[in-house]
Structure 1
Amino acid sequence: MKDKSHKRHIAKAITWRVVGTVDTILLAWLISGNAFTGFKIGLAEVITKMILYYLHERLWFKGELSIPSGKWNSRKRHGIKAISWRIVGTLDTMILAWIITGNPTTGLKIGLAEVITKMVLYYLHERMWYRIDYGIADKRNGRSSNISIL
């Protein structure tokens, strides 16, 4: 059976990137005082974050396969996953903001503001995707399920 989870991880990467980019643009705009700077930082992140997020998803998916069923409470798992992603995402944002603004302090401020907003948004994103079957093989027939919000 072909692994259908790639479609799911790509869809999650796209939906998260939309949410994350809007958050970054708004925070960078508020902190820098310049809307254009906010857009440059937010748009620069689109490529780097999509790649990093996809890799993060694949690592978590691979790790899931070796964990016995019932060992991970979904809320605990999503909380730990949110923390690990936030570390990667914040470092990426700080570096990009520093490069774009030329100011390491601005990069640090934007990155620190994101820690709070993105942790909350990411947790909510994970909870939503936990309820969607898209890209998960149906155990009864081995086929990928359609979107089904429970």
Structure 2
Amino acid sequence: MKKFNEIYWRTLAKVISIRIVFTFVHTINTFIVTGNLIMGLKVAGLAFFVNPVLYWLHERGWNIWQWGRWEHDKRKFNEGNWRSLGKDMSWRVVITGSNFFLPYFVTGSLKYGLTIMGLATLVNMTIYFCHERLWNLFSWGRETKNET
């Protein structure tokens, strides 16, 4: 049986690429809700340090589970849409707390914290899914091993 694996460097590259996008989105979401760009930058700044750790652990955890992966000639292995959707949903569970507590901590407002969390849920699920599908196109950092 084959085991499909993503190396740590690929995970790190995914952390960096999603963090760039999400930092921008955190800033804009908070600005839209509060009307305050400085608050947006503060939320994004905190998230820049907290959320990559969560993302790394989430990615490495999913790397252990082989569901939704199959061998592919050009990319070593492929990951299906259902796997990406599963990762998206489980990421939403992991990150929702951060999407509430960081804005709440910065603004001091329960209303802003909940509103930003709701907006992040709608926007970031689409971004996360598209990010996963885009990374699926690249074979760099993937390896296939025979398990005995």
TM over 0.5: yes
Q: 2:51 aligns with which of 49, 52, 75?
A: 49
Cα distance in structure 2, aligned partners of 1:68 and 1:43: 34
What do the CA deviations read for 1:80-119 (whole angstroms, capped 9, x no partner)?
1111112222211210111111112111100000111101
The unaligned stretches of length 5 or more in structure 2 are 71-77
1:7 aligns with 2:9: yes
The structure carrying a bigger strand percent of its residues is: 2
CA contact (8 A) 2:104 2:110 kept: yes
Displacement after TM superposition at 1:138 (Å) = 6.3
Cα distance in structure 1, aligned partners of 2:24 and 2:100: 16
Match of 1:148 in 2: none
User: Per the alignment, do residues 79 and 48 of structure 1 end up closer, same or farther by CA in structure 2, a change over 3 Å counting?
Assistant: same
Q: How does 1:109-120 map to 2 (within 5 A)?
A: 109-120=115-126
Cα distance in structure 1, aligned partners of 2:16 and 2:51: 10
User: Per the alignment, do residues 12 and 33 of structure 1 end up closer, same or farther by CA in structure 2, a change over 3 Å counting?
Assistant: same
Supply the AA of the counterpart residue of 1:39.
L
Q: 1:23 aligns with which of 7, 18, 25?
A: 25
What do the CA deviations read for 1:36-58 (whole angstroms, capped 9, x no partner)?
00000011101111100000000
Match of 2:40 in 1: 38
- TM-score w.r.t. structure 2 length? 0.84
Secondary structure, aligned partner of 1:137: strand
Q: Which has the higher contact order (CA 8 A, sep 6+)?
A: 2
User: Per the alignment, do residues 126 and 96 of structure 1 end up closer, same or farther by CA in structure 2, a change over 3 Å counting?
Assistant: same
1:88 aligns with 2:97: no
Displacement after TM superposition at 1:4 (Å) = 6.2
Match of 1:77 in 2: 83
The unaligned stretches of length 5 or more in structure 1 are 140-150
Alpha-carbon RMSD across the aligned residues, in angstroms, is 2.0
TM superposition outliers: structure 1 runs of 4+ over 3 Å? 67-70
User: Per the alignment, do residues 131 and 118 of structure 1 end up closer, same or farther by CA in structure 2, a change over 3 Å counting?
Assistant: same
What do the CA deviations read for 1:57-90 (whole angstroms, capped 9, x no partner)?
00000122xx4865x9710110111111122222
Cα distance in structure 1, aligned partners of 2:21 and 2:119: 15
Cα distance in structure 1, aligned partners of 2:23 and 2:68: 35
